[in-house]
Amino acid sequence: NDFQGKPSYIFQLRKGNKKMKVNVSEYADFLIGFLPNENLFMILPASILDGVGALHYYSGMKRSKYLKYINNWDLLKSEGGE
């Protein structure tokens, strides 16, 4: 997808007929998404995604509640990792 000529990404977080939202935290602690055109990863705690139908990221965004999760691998350490 493109937004104003820049890559955009949509992570669908639904199951079944796509009307049912998923409580991601029932299945995992984190969701890791790769943004290939940006060569970036989003490390998202599952708890912030519960009940979210889709997550949108637009290349070059300056404001987003998800920006703090880009390449933030330290989040995995804070959850009892090494």
Model confidence over 32-67: pLDDT tens digits? Answer: 999 888 899 999 999 998 888 888 888 877 888 888
Q: CA-CA distance, 56 to 15, in Å (whole number)? A: 17
For strand 40-45 and strand 20-21, is the pairing parallel, antiparallel, or unpaired?
A: unpaired
| Span 12-31, average pLDDT | 82
Whether the model clears a pTM of 0.85, i.e. scores above it, the answer is no
What integer pLDDT is reported at residue 9 of this predicted model?
86
The tokens 């998800």 sit on which residue? 66
What integer pLDDT is reported at residue 63 of this predicted model?
83
Model confidence over 5-16: pLDDT tens digits? Answer: 677 888 888 776
For strand 54-58 and strand 6-12, is the pairing parallel, antiparallel, or unpaired?
A: antiparallel
